[in-house]
Each structure stands twice: as structure tokens, then as C-alpha cells.
Chain A
Amino acid sequence: MGTDTKLDLKDRYTDFFYENLEHLKNGLPEYINDKREAAIQSFQEKGFPHKKVEKYKYTDMNPAFEKQYRTYIQPKKIDFNLDDIFKCDVPELDTHVVLLLNGWFYENKTPQKQLPNGVIISSFREAANKYPDLIDAHYNGYADTENESLTALNTAFAQDGVFLYVPKGKVMDKPVQIINLLMDEEDGLSQHRNLFVMEESSEAQVIVCDHTLSGNNFLTNSVTEVFVGQNAHLHFNRVQNEHNGSTQISNIYLNQERDSNVSANTITLHGGLVRNNFFMRLNGENCENQTLGLYLADRSQHVDNYVHMDHAYPNSRSNQLFKGVLDDISTGAFNGRILVRQDAQKTEAYQSNNNILLTNDAKMNSKPQLEIYADDVSCSHGGTSGQLNEDAMFYLRSRGLPHKEAQLLLMYAFAHEVIGEIKIEPLKERIHELVEKRLRGELSRCNYCEMHCGEPGKN
């Protein structure tokens, strides 16, 4: 990355793009590469989102991109086996594990590419060459590179990520677990690109875990496109647990066909600045979408969730539920947009955002947006930000529970509404445990990681 600070910030990234264009294209097919230049131009027109951009009113992305990073335009060479230093420690969680190291697919010792039923889990890069027709039919078909400059930037730079394919009528035997690991001796920027294609009547469960394994400042700007075919079922879970010196931007573009069912739970435990974008398009009748989030922030963390729920056809149902506990001087934002297009009669779309602010300095900005063009719909939104329920506190204390215990029990119960929706039992139990520890202030991200690298953002 160039170091000339006199250049406009976006020029720095655009220049870097053109300097490395041939390298970026290297090893990837034409149908991926021919989207790059249009994408960088779109990015160049808009630049990085800042607070004057409505969708980013509470989160300026510029400072994160102003820092100098190594950009991972090639995989990092490591001279040890990742499996030796990182093990997922969720007991009894039986999954197909794939690792991304700094955004690049990491070949495990035990590759699990041979899956029954014709299911494919592989490197996006490899799949792009191997299954061009399959990928070309979906790649960049849902991501919005025209309006979303960060998605455009990702599209310009995308080189690797995870590709998941579940053929028609197939049900995956166990969940796919994608572990995003960030590890380096210097600060780094990762822009991986995932694509999940679920054909008609297929079923899959996906778990995404985000971890940092070294104390450097990392910036991630990832894009995941998901196609959920007719009558397909997807249960998506994400656990964000990067250290507080990191910035994570996650852009998910999900397209649902008729009769499909999607539930997505995003649990944010740690991370300095987290911005999650969920673009959910219900592109057929009788779709069901449940998009849930739980964020626990303290110190100077900032967590911003943006949801765009697009009802394009009649008779679909969506529910957004985001809950947060904010401590110290942490800040949060929630912007949930429900768009009901003219044809989408009999839509049911609900949204709620509830927050507990533990200090007077913690802040939450919650903004619902309902844009409804159909006349026969049932939509609602609601939000609360406040302290714990005084009556419940008194009830618990009047039975002998100390103030702090009562408080924890209520926070835990508050969080439960989201955690309870996780359908993978061992994961649910583990999240319960992590959330409880987190609320007790006992969970530093490091205490179950073997690296003990320290958390720069925490001091």
C-alpha cells in the first residue's frame, strides 16, 4: 500500500488497485476479473462511506481505512500448521471445518472436499476455475456494487474465500463451519469473498466464526453472497469475536426464492468496530426470514448493524430482532429498513431493537425505516433503550439475590431471546456460556485462545 498521505484516501486504494491489477487477475477466470474495473470505478465515484451518507450516519468508515495495512493480495506463507495452534474448542460440535487465514482459503491437513450428496465446500478461487457455469450464474448477481462502495471495493479486490454448494434436494449431514482467522506481525486488510449456492429444497446449517490470533490491527471488508433456492432452508450463525483493535465490515447479500426459509443469528462478542450489513431480498412468495443479532459491547467498542429487508413478492414473513448490552463508553447503532414493494401484498414484516445501557456514557442510536408500497400488509417496529427492569430487579433481590447477581441474571435473560434461536445445540450451549462470561466481565477474548498475544485495544 502506498504511503503518500497527500493523496485522497480513495485514490490511495484505487491507485493500489491499478498497480496490482494484473496480480489480482492472476489465476482467476475472466468472468470474475471483468467485474473488477467497473467495481473500482464505482468505488472511486463514491469513496468510503462517512457520516453524511444516510446508511452510515453513525459510523464513519474513513478512519479505519486511513491506517496503513498490508493488503493480502497473496496468501501469507506460514511455516507451521494452523491446526496446531488453533482448535475450535466448542465441545461436541461436529462440523465440516474450513479455515480462512487472512481471507485466503487454508488447506487443512484433512481436506473435506469429498462430501456425500455432491455438496461442495471449497476455496472460492479454486471453485471459480472448476465450476465456472455454476459460479458465473450467481457471482455478483446479488451484491450491490453500484450503491455500496465497500462492496464495490471488495469486488475489485476479491481473490478468495469460501464456496459452498448444496445440490437440489440435498440435506447436509452436519453444519459447515467457516473460521476466519487473522494473524500477522503487521496490520492487515482482508477482503475475502464468499458464495453460497443452495439449490431447490436443499438444507444447510452454516457457522461463521471470526477470530484474531495476533494483536495487530486488522481490517476486514468481506462480502458473502447467498442464493437460497426455492423451498431451501438455511440456518446461518455467526460469532464475531475479534479483538478490540480490529475493524470488521461484513456485507451479506442474501437472495431467497419462493417457499424458502432463512434464519440468521449474529452474535457480536468482541471487536473494536463492527459493521454488519444484511441485505435480504425475499424474491418469491411465501418466504420466511428471521434475522437476529445480539451484541455485547464495552470499553470503546462500536457495533453497527444495518438490515435491509426487501419484500418483493406477496405472502412472505420477516422478523428482525436485534438486542444489545452496552457498557462503559461503548456505542451502538441499529438501522433496520423494511421495504415492501407494491406487489408484496399480505407481507408480514416485524422489527425490534432493544438495548440495555449499563452506564450513562454508553450510547445507542436506533433507526427504523419502513417503506411500504403495498396496502394490505402487517408491519411493525419497536425499540427500547434503557436500564434493566426495576421491578424485576426488586423481585429477584427480595428473594436474596445480590444486586450484581440479579443484574447478571436479567442481562442473561435479555440475551437469551436471541441465543435461544440457535438451532445447533452444542453451539447454543457454548454461546450461552460465552455470553454469561462476557456479561460477568470474565471473558477476555484471549482466555480460550492459545496465542495469548494480548489485546492492544483493551489497554
Chain B
Amino acid sequence: MLEIKNLHSVIEGNEILKGIDLKVNKGEIHAIMGPNGSGKSTLASVLAGKDIFEITEGEIIYEGKNLMEMDPEERAKEGIFLGFQYPVEIPGVSMINFLKTALNEQRKHKGLEPIKSSDFLKMVREKKDLVQIDSNLTNRSVNEGFSGGEKKRNEIFQMAMLNPRLSILDETDSGLDIDALRVVAHGVNTLRSDDNATIIITHYQRLLNYIIPDRVHVLYDGKIVKSGDKNLAIELEEKGYEWLAQEVAAK
């Protein structure tokens, strides 16, 4: 589904990603872990198409297409979803209208008619239940006045509404209490299928108690320095990132 080859990315003259290789197949969940500043969020942003990052080398192939030639909105329509680490508050933009517009843009791309209002509202109710959002979103602006936990649940809610093929969740767990964490994990697990894939970017192992990854990768100083199964995450939690830093230095 996704293949990243030797990806280098630069922002304002600083190289953040220094040769990433990663392959994600349909049906898989990958976790990317790493200390702060290792390039995790940059990787997420690059995949979603944020243009402040310049790609200097390498390629990203998604479903056989060159992802780097696509605008963020094209990527979204092709089924890529980024769950933001810091969801942006947009006062004045109605959450519901925004979501409906987004959904209809994706439907248009697939050659479908705009969704009927009644179907849309039914879907909103269902998906809200999934992530236990009980507030009335109709009168709220995008993320405005949402608590930290609500913002993250709102990301998973949007993911559920848009039903992406490849979801990239950027530190969705950070700042969440254990109940919210369970809710988010439940959402992700429910949406999991043989046809889609998920990349979970996280600093901590905790979320991976609830979402079991197929592969775990450690990103360090712009490179994936180690990959393994779910046990790698546990090992990291025990030994800390210094352990890896030493191992990398020893090479």
C-alpha cells in the first residue's frame, strides 16, 4: 500500500528526515516510536503533504502512485488521513459543515452523489457513539473550545466519518488519560480492516497495549534504526531511548 524509499526531507535548511525506508501493507498496523525531535511528526506531515517540508531525495509510492506529486486534498481523496498531534482550532467554521463538505469532496472523487442529509446525520450519530462524543457538534466550530481529549477523539471521529485507507495518527495518545486512551484505541480497532492500514506515531508504549501493532519501528535522528514486532515497544519502554542511542553510536 505504502512504500517509502530513502526519504530525505529538509525544512529551512535543516535536514530532518535522513533516509527513511518503510513498507506498509494492507491490513497492517505499524507503530513508529522515537524520542522527541527524531522526525516522527515531520514524517507524518510529509505523508499528508504539508508543503513547508522539502523533499530532497527519495520517493513515496502509495497504491502505485507517486504521492509527492499530489496536493494534500488529493491525498485525502485517495484515502490518506492524518490525525493531527495538535488539531487546529478554526473559529467560525462549523464542525458539521466542514465534515459534510469533506465527505462530499471525497464522494465526488469516487463518482458518488452528495450524501443525503438524513444519511449524513445518521452516520454522525453512529460515529459519535464510537468515540463517545456526546456534545452537539452542530453548533460548534472546528476544535474550538474542545478540551485536549475532545480534540483527539474528534480526530478519530473524523477518521471514522471519512473511512480512510491509510491513517497516520500523530501522537494521538499524548496528553490523554487512560479512559480517553481506551476510547481512542477502541475507535481505531473498530475501524481496522483487511483493506486499510494504520501508522501510529507515538512517544510512549502505552497506547500499544490497546492497539496491537504488526510492526514497530524506532525513528532516531531522521532514520529508522530498528524494527521489530510488538515486543520491541515493550523493550523500549523498559530500557528507554538512551539504550538505542548507545546502540546506534556503537555502530
Interface residues of A (CB under 8 A from B): 389-392, 394-403, 405-406, 409-410, 412-417, 420
Contacts and interface: CB of A to CB of B under 8 A. Distances in A.
Interface string B48-78: 1110100000000000000000011101110
B92 A397 contact: no
Given A405-B101, A413-B141, A398 B92 contact: no
Contacts of A409: 93, 98, 101
Contact of A397 (B73, B84, B93, B158): B73
Given A397-B71, A399-B162, A410 B90 contact: yes
Given A391-B88, A392-B90, A413-B91, A398 B48 contact: yes
Interface residues of B, number: 30
Interface of B: 48-50, 52, 71-73, 75-77, 81-82, 84, 87-88, 90-93, 98-99, 101-102, 105-106, 109, 141-142, 158, 162
B92 to A, nearest CB: 3
Contact of B105 (A402, A415, A420): A402
Contacts, number: 77
B49 A413 contact: no
A412 to B, nearest CB: 7
A415 B92 CA distance: 8
A317 B188 CA distance: 49
| A contact face: mostly helix, strand, loop, or mixed | helix
A395 B105 contact: no
B146 to A, nearest CB: 13
Nearest to B168: A398
A401 B105 contact: yes
Contacts of A417: 91-92
Contact of B90 (A395, A400, A403): A395
Contacts of A399: 76, 98-99, 102, 158, 162
A394 B50 contact: yes
Contact of A410 (B87, B93, B101): B93
Nearest to B107: A400
Contacts of B87: 395
Contacts of B49: 397-398
B92 A394 contact: no
A391 to B, nearest CB: 5
Contacts of B77: 400
B186 to A, nearest CB: 22
9 contacts: A397-B73, A398-B82, A399-B76, A400-B102, A401-B98, A405-B101, A405-B105, A406-B73, A413-B141
